[in-house]
Amino acid sequence: MNLLEAKQVEVAYGGIRAVQGVDLSVASGELVCLIGANGAGKTTTLRALCGMTPAAAGEVWFDGKRIDRLPAHEHVRLGIAHVPEGRGIFGRLTVRENLLLGAYLRRDREGIRRDQEHVYELFPRLAERQRQSAGTLSGGEQQMLAIGRALMARPRLLLLDEPSMGLAPILVQKIFEIIRRISKEGVTLLLVEQNAKLALEVSDRAYVLESGRVALTGPAAELANNPQVRAAYLGG
Ligand code: ATP
């Protein structure tokens, strides 16, 4: 069954129709990516799915419940975690405090403690820096912290916006390894990425967005071999 389903979603900024009738679904356990050029509407689509930007038309369903009219905090309560572009961590709080904020809706102290250990195991750098203020972390470490914080909510669906943005190539590889691992551990993921090559490598299925519309969709491995996709997004 589809955990997430978007039907004919539209988003407009003033007169600009950034997203123009997008249909998209993510099944439970799947890793799906949304790729496309700069300004194609990837971030806007993701924001509409988690209630950060209101959809002007269309519907979004999560686990059989219509959610497109709900405020963002209700999405969180339902189990949708969003890691925004630019990460949104709290620079003055420590790494540990940022992580615990991700678990603010939970009361199971033992589970929270275990998940925190798990995040430190996924990202040993964060364990080393748990008492340091998050603002002193490098860009890559902040990205790890943002993902770790989202995982602390035990999300049913994790939405990642451009996790590789601004990172050195070695860290990009690392982040994608972690994404693959999180997916294998059973978290359902929707990933927005400029790095189409790596996104297609780790994903089960993909959507290609062009000018606010879904231009192509299918199994990621198929799209990676599609001549059109290769020419436009994979450098030939
Ligand atoms: P990028 O990879 O550059 O983030 P994207 O595919 O995620 O690109 P969006 O950021 O969703 O694309 O932008 C889609 C369109 O909406 C673009 O034309 C952009 O200029 C416009 N847009 C995005 N955010 C706003 C905003 N807050 N106000 C007005 N227009 C916006």
**Closest to 232 (Cα-Cα) out of 209, 213, 212:** 209
Structure tokens at 93: 């709080």
Contacts by 170-175 with C-beta closer than 8 Å and gap 24+? 171/140, 171/143, 172/198, 173/198, 174/140, 175/140, 175/143, 175/144, 175/147
CA distances from 169 to 61, 89, 112, 174, 176 (A): 36, 22, 32, 9, 11
pLDDT at 236 over 80: no
Atom of ligand 1 nearest to the CA of 36: 6
Burial class (CB in 10 A: 0-12, 13-18, 19+), 113: exposed
Cα-Cα end-to-end distance for the chain: 35
Atom of ligand 1 nearest to the CA of 44: 11
Task: State the average pLDDT over residues 56-82.
Answer: 95
- Per the CB < 8 A criterion, the answer to whether 163 and 173 are in contact is no
% the chain with pLDDT above 70: 100
Residue-wise pLDDT for 203-215, tens only, equals 999 999 999 999 9
Residue-wise pLDDT for 160-192, tens only, equals 999 998 888 888 999 999 999 999 999 999 999
Q: In what order do the strands lie in the sheet with 213-219?
A: 80-83, 157-161, 188-193, 31-36, 205-210, 213-219
- Residue 29 CA to residue 195 CA, distance in Å, equals 22
The predicted structure's pLDDT at residue 235 = 81
DSSP 188-201: EEEEEES-HHHHHH
The predicted structure's pLDDT at residue 115 = 96
Q: Indicate whether residue 34 lines ligand 1 (CB < 6 A).
A: no
Determine the distance separating the centroid of ligand 1 and the alpha carbon of 44, expressed in angstroms: 6
Task: State the average pLDDT over residues 35-57.
Answer: 94
Please give the single-letter amino acid code of residue 25: S
The predicted structure's pLDDT at residue 87 = 75
- Our mutation pick for probing the ligand 1 site, out of 43, 46, 192, 214, counting the most ligand atoms within 8 A of Cβ, is 43
Atom of ligand 1 nearest to the CA of 162: 2
| Cβ-proximal residues to 15 (8 Å cutoff; 6+ apart), any chain | none
What confidence category does residue 15 fall into, taking pLDDT thresholds of 50, 70 and 90? confident
The predicted structure's pLDDT at residue 86 = 73
The predicted structure's pLDDT at residue 85 = 83
- Per the CB < 8 A criterion, the answer to whether 98 and 149 are in contact is yes
Q: State the DSSP code for 40.
A: S
